[in-house]
């Protein structure tokens, strides 16, 4: 991602009031369902995935594992009720990010793959 795009994303996040802490590191920008821009950043060693249009937090503080994946129990899905959380796993690949969220003891799972913008 070029410096201008990074600056524009930071400005949009700041203007909408969903700015990550100063210590945050932007890992990239991804596209969900063809038109939802998601910024992915770390803050305090935890991973966050925030939809730019409304600040919806999908990953919500996932911890990095020894194998390079990120896991957590507070993943949210924007199409589900806000009170629901899922056991989630995030994996980064060549220009993509994959997310897997599971409920009910990992018996109900769904996955999404997002291309990097």
Note down the domain range covering 94.
3-115
Look at strands 62-64 and 46-51 and give their pairing.
antiparallel
pLDDT tens digit string along 50-83?
999 999 999 999 999 999 999 999 999 999 998 9
The region, left, alpha or beta by phi > 0 then psi within -120 to 50, assigned to residue 29 is: beta
Averaged over 97-109, what is the pLDDT?
A: 90
Quick check: helix, strand or coil at residue 46? strand
Residues 88, 89, 93: CA angle, nearest 5 degrees? 150
The count of structural domains within the chain is 1
What are the residues facing 64 on neighbouring strands?
Answer: 70
Q: Model's pTM, two decimal places?
A: 0.77
Length of the chain: 117
Averaged over 21-31, what is the pLDDT?
A: 83
């Amino acid at each position: 991602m070029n410096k201008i795009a990074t600056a524009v994303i930071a400005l949009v996040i700041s203007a909408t009031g969903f700015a990550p802490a100063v210590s945050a590191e932007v890992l990239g920008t991804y596209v969900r369902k063809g038109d939802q821009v998601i910024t992915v950043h770390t803050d305090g060693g935890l991973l966050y995935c925030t939809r730019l249009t409304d600040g919806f937090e999908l990953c919500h503080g996932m911890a990095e594992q020894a194998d390079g994946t990120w896991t957590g129990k507070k993943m949210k899905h924007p199409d589900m009720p806000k009170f629901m959380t899922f056991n989630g796993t995030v994996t980064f690949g060549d220009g993509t990010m994959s997310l897997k969220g599971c409920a009910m003891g990992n018996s109900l799972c769904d996955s999404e793959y997002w291309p990097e913008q």
